[in-house]
C-alpha cells in the first residue's frame, strides 16, 4: 500500500496516475457537446449505490472507468457555452495547474512551519487585492473557503468592534436583494431574528440610500446599535452595485462598519474599462472577494479584506501546539491568527499562477467580455416580445421571463417558466437558473463564459419558448 503514498519513491507512479486522469478530463472536455446529460437522480443514484467501498478495484484505470460512469459522464460542465445558470465560471488553465501543484505539495496555510513560501505568497496576494481596492496601508486579510465564510468573518469583526454586549441590540442593514449569507451570518453570530434590516432597492435593484438613512436614524432613536451596513457590489440575481459612496457617507455619519460584499463584482478590480463602477469600495471596513466567481478560479478561492489589520485580532486564538503567543514577538507569520479555519488549502497559489501567466489585465478582459455579452443579451431580450426582462445588466446576469401572447394569468405564466427551466435541464441542451421577482417566477442567465455567443443566448431563448409553449399546449389539453 505504500506505493500509493506520494513521495520520492513514487514520483513516477504519481506522474502516470495524474497524467492518466488529466488525459481523461481533457478528452471529456473536448468531446462534451452539452452542459449536462439530463440524467435524473433516480437513474444516477443506483449506479453510485451499488459500488461497494469496502471492495477497492486496486487499479487506477479501472477506477477512472468507473468514475466515468458515476461522475464524469453526467457532471454539469461549467465550461460549456450553454451553461448559463449560477455564479460558476469556466476556469483558467494556469489556475488548474496551480490546483494540481497545491494538492500534491499539500501545504497547509495555518502556520509558517507548514507552508513557508505559501504564507508569503498568500500575503502578497492579499496586499495586491487590498491595493486594487484601495484600502490603504494598514489593510490586511486572509483567504477563505468562499463568499459565505468571508461575509461571516467580516460580520464577526464588525460585531466585535461595536463593543456592545447585548447582542439583541445589534442591527445589520443590507438590501432586500443581498446574499442570504448575511442572514445566515447574523444567526451564527447569535444576533436576534430581527437583526438584519432589509433595505428596499430602486428600479435598478440598488439599495435606496434614502431608506438606509431613514433606518439608521430609526435604529439610533430606538436605542439600538447599527453594527454594520452590507453594501453589495454585484447582487447575485441582478449584478447590481449598491451606491457605495453614498453608503460610505452614511456609515461614517453613524459610525457604522461598512462591509462591501463584492463576491461577484470583484472581477471589476481587474478591469481597465470598468474599475470605476466600484468607486467608493475603498472606503469599506471590510470587503468580500470571490476569485472563484469573476476571476475564473476553481472552487474554492475567496478572501476577506479589512481596512485595519488590527481588527483581525478578533479571530485570533493561541495554542501551544500550533501558534503560541511568543511567535508573534518572534514575527513568525502564522495565517491561522487571522482565519476562522485551522488547516487551510493553499488556494492562493491558483491566483498566483493566474496573475503570473495571464496578468490581471487578462482576467479583466475576460470579465469585460461577459459583461458585454450580457448587454447584447439584454438587447435581444428587450427586442423580443416573448420575454419580459427585469433590468439592464450591471454586470453579467439577465433576469427574464417568458410571457405567452395568449395567457394573462400570472400563476399560469409562472408554471410555464418553471416547466421550461426543468425541461431544459432534463434535455441537457442548456442550464439556466431561476429566481423570484415581485413574487413571480423568473429565469436567469448568469454569464461568466466568454465563449458564450449572443447566438447561444438566442438559441437558449428559443428552447425556453418552445418548452413553455409545450407546457401551455398540454395545459390547454388538460383543461378541455
State in angstroms the smallest separation of the CB of 468 from ligand PLP.
26
Binding mask 107-146 for ligand PLP (x = CB under 6 A): ---------------------------------------x
State in angstroms the smallest separation of the CB of 83 from ligand PLP.
15
State in angstroms the smallest separation of the CB of 184 from ligand PLP.
10
Residues 185, 236, 417, 449: which binds ligand PLP (CB under 6 A)?
A: 236
- Applying CB under 6 A, what is the total number of residues that bind ligand PLP? 16
Give the residue from 104, 130, 89 showing the smallest Cα distance to 22: 104
Binding mask 83-102 for ligand PLP (x = CB under 6 A): ----x---------------
State in angstroms the smallest separation of the CB of 148 from ligand PLP.
3
Query: CB nearest ligand PLP: which residue?
Result: 147
Q: Does 242 bind ligand PLP (CB under 6 A)?
A: no
Which parts of 155-214 interact with ligand PLP (CB under 6 A)? 179, 181
State in angstroms the smallest separation of the CB of 17 from ligand PLP.
30
Nearer to ligand PLP, 264 or 346 (CB): 264
Residue 182, all three cell numbers? 448575511
The three-state DSSP-derived secondary structure of the chain is: CHHHCCCHHHHHHHHHHHHHHHHHHHHHHHHCCCCCCCCCHHHHHHHHHCCCCCCCCCCHHHHHHHHHHHHHCCCCCCCCCCEECCCCCCCCHHHHHHHHHHHHHCCCCCCHHHCCHHHHHHHHHHHHHHHHHCCCCCCEEEEECCHHHHHHHHHHHHHHHHCCCCHHHEEEEEECCCCCHHHHHHHHCCCCCCCEEEECECCCCCECHHHHHHHHHHHHHCCCEEEEEEEEECCCCCCCECCHHHHHHHHHHCCCEEEEEECCHHHHHHCCCCHHHHCCHHHCCEEEEEHHHHCCCCCCCEEEEECCHHHHHHHCCCCCCCCCCHHHHCCCCCHHHHCCCCCCCCCHHHHHHHHHHCCHHHHHHHHHHHHHHHHHHHHHHHCCCCEEECCCCCCCEEEEEECCCCCCCHHHHHHHHHHHHHHHHHHCCCEEEEEEECCEEEEEEECCCCCCCHHHHHHHHHHHHHHHHHHHHHHHHHHC
State in angstroms the smallest separation of the CB of 393 from ligand PLP.
15
Q: Does 263 bind ligand PLP (CB under 6 A)?
A: yes
State in angstroms the smallest separation of the CB of 435 from ligand PLP.
12
State in angstroms the smallest separation of the CB of 284 from ligand PLP.
14
Residues 81, 90, 94, 147: which binds ligand PLP (CB under 6 A)?
A: 147
Which parts of 282-341 interact with ligand PLP (CB under 6 A)? 290, 302
State in angstroms the smallest separation of the CB of 181 from ligand PLP.
5
Nearer to ligand PLP, 87 or 457 (CB): 87
Q: Does 444 bind ligand PLP (CB under 6 A)?
A: no
Nearer to ligand PLP, 177 or 355 (CB): 177
Nearer to ligand PLP, 238 or 387 (CB): 238
Q: Does 347 bind ligand PLP (CB under 6 A)?
A: no
Nearer to ligand PLP, 261 or 429 (CB): 261
Residues contributing to the site for ligand PLP (CB under 6 A): 87, 146-148, 151, 179, 181, 232, 234-236, 261, 263-264, 290, 302
Amino acid at each position: 500500500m505504500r506505493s500509493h503514498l506520494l513521495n520520492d519513491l513514487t514520483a513516477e507512479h504519481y506522474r502516470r496516475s495524474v497524467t492518466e486522469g488529466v488525459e481523461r478530463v481533457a478528452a471529456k472536455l473536448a468531446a462534451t457537446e452539452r452542459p449536462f446529460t439530463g440524467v435524473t437522480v433516480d437513474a444516477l443514484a443506483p449506479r453510485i449505490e451499488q459500488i461497494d467501498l469496502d471492495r477497492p478495484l486496486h487499479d487506477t484505470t479501472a477506477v477512472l472507468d468507473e468514475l466515468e460512469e458515476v461522475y464524469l459522464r453526467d457532471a454539469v460542465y461549467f465550461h460549456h457555452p450553454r451553461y448559463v445558470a449560477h455564479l460558476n465560471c469556466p476556469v483558467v488553465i494556469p489556475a488548474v495547474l496551480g490546483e494540481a501543484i497545491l494538492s500534491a505539495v499539500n501545504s497547509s496555510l495555518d502556520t509558517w512551519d507548514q507552508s513557508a513560501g505559501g504564507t508569503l505568497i498568500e500575503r502578497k496576494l492579499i496586499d495586491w487585492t487590498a491595493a486594487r481596492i484601495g484600502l490603504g496601508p494598514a489593510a490586511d486579510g486572509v483567504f477563505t473557503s468562499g463568499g459565505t465564510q468571508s461575509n461571516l468573518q467580516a460580520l464577526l469583526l464588525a460585531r466585535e468592534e461595536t463593543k456592545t454586549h447585548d447582542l439583541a441590540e445589534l442591527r445589520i442593514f443590507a438590501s432586500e436583494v443581498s446574499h442570504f449569507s448575511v442572514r445566515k451570518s447574523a444567526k451564527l453570530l447569535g444576533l436576534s431574528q430581527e437583526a438584519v434590516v432589509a433595505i428596499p432597492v430602486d428600479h435598478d435593484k440598488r439599495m435606496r440610500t434614502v431608506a438606509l438613512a431613514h433606518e439608521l436614524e430609526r435604529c439610533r432613536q430606538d436605542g439600538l446599535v447599527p453594527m454594520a451596513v452590507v453594501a453589495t457590489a454585484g447582487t447575485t440575481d441582478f449584478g447590481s452595485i449598491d451606491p457605495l459612496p453614498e453608503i460610505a457617507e452614511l456609515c461614517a455619519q453613524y459610525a457604522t462598519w461598512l462591509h462591501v460584499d463584492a463576491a461577484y463584482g470583484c472581477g471589476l478590480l481587474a478591469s481597465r474599462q470598468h474599475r470605476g463602477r466600484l468607486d467608493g469600495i475603498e472606503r469599506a471596513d471590510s470587503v468580500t472577494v470571490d476569485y472563484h466567481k469573476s476571476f475564473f478560479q476553481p472552487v474554492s478561492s475567496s478572501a476577506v479584506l479589512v481596512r485595519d489589520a488590527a481588527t483581525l485580532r478578533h479571530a485570533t486564538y493561541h495554542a501551544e501546539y500550533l501558534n503560541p503567543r511568543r511567535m508573534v514577538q518572534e514575527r513568525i507569520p502564522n495565517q491561522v491568527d487571522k482565519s476562522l479555519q485551522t488547516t487551510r488549502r493553499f488556494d492562493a497559489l491558483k491566483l498566483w499562477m493566474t496573475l503570473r501567466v495571464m496578468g490581471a489585465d487578462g482576467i479583466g478582459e475576460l470579465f469585460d467580455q461577459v459583461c458585454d455579452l450580457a448587454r447584447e443579451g439584454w438587447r435581444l431580450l428587450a427586442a423580443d416580445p416573448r420575454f419580459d426582462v427585469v433590468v439592464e445588466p450591471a454586470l453579467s446576469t439577465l433576469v427574464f421571463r417568458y410571457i405567452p401572447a395568449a395567457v394573462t394569468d400570472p400563476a399560469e405564466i409562472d408554471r410555464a417558466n418553471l416547466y421550461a427551466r426543468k425541461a431544459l435541464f432534463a434535455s441537457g441542451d442548456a442550464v439556466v437558473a431561476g429566481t423570484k421577482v415581485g413574487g413571480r417566477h423568473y429565469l436567469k442567465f448568469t454569464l461568466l463564459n466568454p465563449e458564450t455567443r449572443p447566438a447561444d443566448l438566442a438559441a437558449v431563448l428559443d428552447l425556453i419558448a418552445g418548452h413553455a409553449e409545450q407546457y401551455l399546449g398540454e395545459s390547454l389539453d388538460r383543461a378541455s
